[in-house]
């Protein structure tokens, strides 16, 4: 009996020490990698990264998600392309003329070829755009083309696709007529829904885009040579690209691994050259460590994380209560200690990349004194003596560790600063979205990422009370009018001022409490240069190369 006990103890301690060995020693590994990266000295221009999941579709007219977009952006080229400085530059077009009423654009196409050698012609754009708005093709992003004349009418089945405001004057000239003047239209033409499609192939084979192969042609810096569904996509340099001399990478392989830790581990093991956003993601818990060892890259992007208030549910129908809640949040503590990805505290709705002054915002972060004043005013409005008499506030978020942590931090802040009790409620993603869109919530977390580089993108969500993405039931006639007027204002400075005025109204009524502006966070092989990430957070590898 004694002997057996001893061996039991031995085995137990063996198991435990194995466990401990596994746990400790993370540090030397982190140090060890740096040497690895340095000694790698890649001459080969092959980039390996992770895109997490199978893309929804690699048809530019059908794609509606960041994964598909991330692939399409490398292999297609629209009339314009966002350059290294974030400005749209002529791309497939070489010359652009705009009519005085800002409603007609004439694009002169450059001599360019599809990856199979076919010339890129104006008809390819006409075909692609008409195809995307045609309701028969079920594009979920058809509304991106609503700016073009008749776009919405066609998609609603009220007009024929041929009536879309886009015409091929000849093989190399494209004329686009817009529904309304759209000051940011050249931003839009860089977006993938506006990409051309090789009409010769697409007309003959409606399934051309479902696999890699000779049917899948594209006109961008890279071409797709392999698509192992749910596993891997391989791109190669497109020798037929008009600007092929600029393109240095010979190959990009994109794995589909949907686990943040694995992605980072593969990077550390030298199996990937890039881990993290915008196409992948880093594990949030490890950001501080990566920051400490200097390998973390961060870049602000046009997106905001906010808490929406349902302005019809008491006590959140009271503006003072809403303001008290918004002012009492210590955003700096959240970005530094909870999210830890270099995010910028948000005291405004529109990201600073679009309105510079918004780095400061409309109020002071963590303004406990003001918050208490607002709370007192709010309680007075409601005829209550004390914050504890307020109806319980339920803070909802969708199932995700990151959201949960922020919610717990804010719950604690509201409790400590204002004495308000908050109940947390998390929900499965689609249940959550449905509840929010149906107004079945009190306070709910949400994020918004800009589709194009213009403040209107963030403000027009709240134009109509029943607008699909408003969710707050808030509406303000002055706000609405300013947005409508801004659409027809041709002077950019005046237009920007109108939008700022609108934002001021919005922040004064506080239907949402902004928390922070998003950043992209990633680690990369330090020899990889000139990867361009736009203000919207999209990545382009056109100029990228290894040193």
Partner 1 sequence: MVKYISKRLLYMIVSLLIIITATFFLMRIAPGNPFTSEKKLPPEIEANLNEHYGLDKPWYVQYGDYLVRIVQWDFGPSFKYESRTVNDLINDGFPVSLTLGLEAILFAVAVGIVLGVIAALRHNKWQDYTAMIIAVFGISVPSFIMATFLQYIFAIKLGLFPVARWETFSHTVLPALALGATPMAFIARLTRSSMLEVLSNDYIKTAKAKGLSRGAMIMKHTIRNALLPVVSYMGPLAAGIITGSFVIEKIFGIPGLGSHFVLSISNRDYTVIMGVTVFYSILLLVSILLVDIAYGLIDPRIKLAGGKKGE
Partner 2 sequence: MQQISKEKFQIVGVKASDAEKISKPSLSFWKDVFIRFRKNKLAMFGIVLLIILVFMAIFGPYMTKFDYASNDLMNTNKPPSSTHWFGTDDLGRDMFARTWQGARISLFIGIMAALIDFFIGVAWGGIAGYKGGRVDEIMMRIADILYGVPYLLLVILLMVVLGANLTTMIIAMTITGWINMARIVRGEVLSLKNQEYVLAARTLGASVSRIMGRHLIPNAMGSILVTMTLTIPSAIFTESFLSFLGLGLTPPLASWGTMANDGLASIQYYPWRLFFPAVLIALTIFAFNVIGDGLRDALDPRLRNKE
Query: Between 116 and 366, whose beta carbon lies closer to partner 2?
Result: 366
Nearest approach, Cβ of residue 329 and partner 2 (Å): 12
* Alpha-helix residue ranges (DSSP H) falling in 76-149: 122-133
Cα separation, 294 vs 270, whole angstroms: 17
Query: Between 177 and 411, whose beta carbon lies closer to partner 2?
Result: 411
Cα separation, 418 vs 409, whole angstroms: 14
Contacts of 342 (CB under 8 A, 6+ apart): 291, 296, 298, 300, 335, 519, 521
Collapse the DSSP code of 547 into the 3-class scheme (helix H, G, I; strand E, B; otherwise coil) and give the result: coil
Secondary structure of 221-242 as H, E, C letters: CEEEEEEECCCEEEEEECCCCC
Q: Which among partner 2, partner 1, none contacts residue 258 (Cβ within 5 to 8 A by kind)?
A: partner 1
- Could you give the C-alpha distances from 166 to 43, 105, 125, 145, 505, in angstroms and in order? 45, 9, 8, 11, 37
Q: Which of 425, 451, 489, 530 forms a contact with partner 2 (CB under 8 A)? A: 425
Q: Binding to partner 2 by residue 163, rule CB under 8 A? A: no
Query: Between 140 and 481, whose beta carbon lies closer to partner 1?
Result: 140
With tokens 């066609």, the residue in question is: 154
Stretch that binds partner 2, among 51-59, 367-375, 423-431, 530-538 (CB under 8 A): 423-431
Cα separation, 462 vs 477, whole angstroms: 11
Nearest approach, Cβ of residue 133 and partner 1 (Å): 10
Structure tokens at 37: 């990266």
Nearest approach, Cβ of residue 283 and partner 2 (Å): 5
Q: Which of 13, 180, 392, 399 forms a contact with partner 2 (CB under 8 A)? A: 399
- Could you give the C-alpha distances from 319 to 350, 370, 372, 375, 421, in angstroms and in order? 20, 14, 13, 10, 18
Q: Which among partner 2, partner 1, none contacts residue 302 (Cβ within 5 to 8 A by kind)?
A: none
Q: Which among partner 2, partner 1, none contacts residue 256 (Cβ within 5 to 8 A by kind)?
A: partner 1
> Residue 473: which region, alpha, beta or left (left: phi > 0; alpha: psi -120 to 50)?
left
Cα separation, 178 vs 154, whole angstroms: 14
Measured between its terminal Cα atoms, the distance across the chain in Å is 66
Nearest approach, Cβ of residue 49 and partner 1 (Å): 13
Q: Which residues bind partner 1 (CB under 8 A)?
A: 3-4, 7-8, 11-12, 15, 22, 25, 29, 54-59, 62, 135, 138-140, 142-143, 152, 155-157, 209-211, 228-231, 255-259, 261-262, 265-266, 268-269, 271, 428-431, 433-435, 437, 446-447, 468-469
Nearest approach, Cβ of residue 146 and partner 1 (Å): 8
Taking alpha carbons only, the member of 59, 63, 44, 55 closest to residue 228 is 55
Query: Between 153 and 368, whose beta carbon lies closer to partner 1?
Result: 153
User: 142-161 mask for partner 2 (x: CB under 8 A)?
Assistant: --------------------
Contacts of 411 (CB under 8 A, 6+ apart): 395, 422, 424
Q: Binding to partner 2 by residue 269, rule CB under 8 A? A: no
Q: Which of 250, 366, 404, 421 forms a contact with partner 2 (CB under 8 A)? A: 404
Cα separation, 514 vs 329, whole angstroms: 10
Q: Which among partner 2, partner 1, none contacts residue 213 (Cβ within 5 to 8 A by kind)?
A: none
Nearest approach, Cβ of residue 405 and partner 2 (Å): 6
Nearest approach, Cβ of residue 348 and partner 2 (Å): 23
Instruction: Output the DSSP codes for 372-434.
Output: HHHHHHHHHHHT-SSGGGSPPEEEEEES-HHHHHHHHHHHHHIIIII---EEEEEE-HHHHHH
Nearest approach, Cβ of residue 112 and partner 1 (Å): 26
Binding site for partner 2 (CB under 8 A): 1, 16, 19-20, 22-24, 26-27, 29-30, 260-261, 283-286, 288-289, 330, 333-334, 336-338, 399, 401, 404-405, 407-409, 411-412, 423-428, 431
């Amino acid at each position: 009996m004694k002997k057996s006990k001893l061996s039991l103890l031995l085995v137990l301690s063996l198991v435990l020490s194995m466990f401990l060995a596994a746990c400790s020693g993370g540090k030397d590994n982190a140090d060890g990698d740096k040497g690895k990266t340095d000694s790698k000295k890649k001459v080969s221009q092959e980039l390996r990264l992770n895109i997490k999941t199978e893309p929804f579709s690699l048809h530019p007219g059908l794609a509606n998600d960041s994964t598909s977009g991330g692939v399409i952006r490398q292999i297609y080229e629209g009339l314009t392309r966002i350059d290294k400085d974030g400005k749209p530059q002529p791309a497939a077009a070489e010359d652009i003329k705009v009519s005085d009423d800002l409603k007609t654009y004439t694009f002169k196409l450059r001599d360019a070829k599809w990856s199979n050698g076919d010339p890129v012609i104006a008809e390819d754009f006409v075909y692609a755009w008409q195809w995307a708005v045609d309701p028969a093709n079920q594009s979920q992003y058809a509304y991106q083309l609503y700016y073009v004349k008749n776009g919405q009418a066609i998609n609603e089945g009220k007009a024929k696709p041929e009536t879309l405001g886009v015409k091929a004057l000849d093989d190399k000239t494209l004329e686009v007529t817009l529904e309304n003047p759209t000051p940011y239209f050249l931003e839009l033409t860089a977006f993938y829904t506006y990409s051309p499609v090789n009409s010769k192939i697409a007309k003959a084979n409606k399934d051309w885009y479902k696999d890699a192969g000779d049917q899948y042609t594209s006109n961008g810096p890279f071409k797709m040579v392999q698509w192992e569904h749910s596993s891997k996509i391989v791109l190669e340099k497109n020798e037929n690209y008009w600007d092929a001399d600029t393109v240095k990478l010979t190959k990009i392989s994109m794995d589909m691994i949907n686990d943040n830790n694995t992605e980072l581990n593969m990077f550390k093991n030298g199996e990937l050259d890039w881990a993290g956003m915008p196409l992948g993601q880093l594990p949030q818990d490890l950001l501080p460590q990566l920051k400490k060892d200097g390998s973390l890259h961060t870049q602000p992007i046009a997106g905001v994380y906010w808490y929406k208030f349902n302005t019809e549910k008491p006590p959140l129908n009271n503006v003072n209560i809403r303001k008290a809640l918004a002012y009492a949040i210590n955003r700096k503590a959240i970005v530094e200690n909870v999210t830890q990805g270099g995010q910028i505290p948000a005291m405004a709705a529109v990201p600073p990349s679009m309105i510079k002054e918004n780095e400061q915002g409309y109020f002071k972060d963590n303004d406990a004194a003001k918050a208490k004043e607002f709370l007192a005013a709010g309680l007075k409005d409601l005829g209550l003596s004390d914050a504890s008499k307020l109806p319980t506030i339920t803070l909802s978020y969708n199932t995700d560790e990151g959201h949960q942590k922020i919610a717990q931090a804010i719950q604690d802040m509201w409790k400590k600063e204002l004495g308000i009790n908050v109940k947390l409620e998390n929900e499965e993603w689609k249940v959550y979205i449905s509840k929010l869109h149906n107004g079945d919530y009190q306070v709910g977390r949400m994020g918004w990422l800009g589709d194009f580089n213009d403040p209107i993108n963030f403000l027009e969500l709240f134009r109509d009370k029943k607008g699909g993405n408003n969710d707050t039931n808030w509406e303000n006639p002055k706000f609405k009018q300013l947005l409508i007027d801004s659409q027809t204002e041709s002077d950019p400075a005046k237009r920007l001022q109108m939008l700022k005025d609108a934002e001021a109204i919005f922040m004064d009524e506080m239907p949402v409490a902004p928390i922070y502006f998003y950043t992209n966070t990633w680690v990369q092989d330090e020899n990889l240069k000139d990867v361009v990430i736009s203000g919207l957070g999209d990545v382009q590898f056109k100029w990228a190369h290894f040193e």
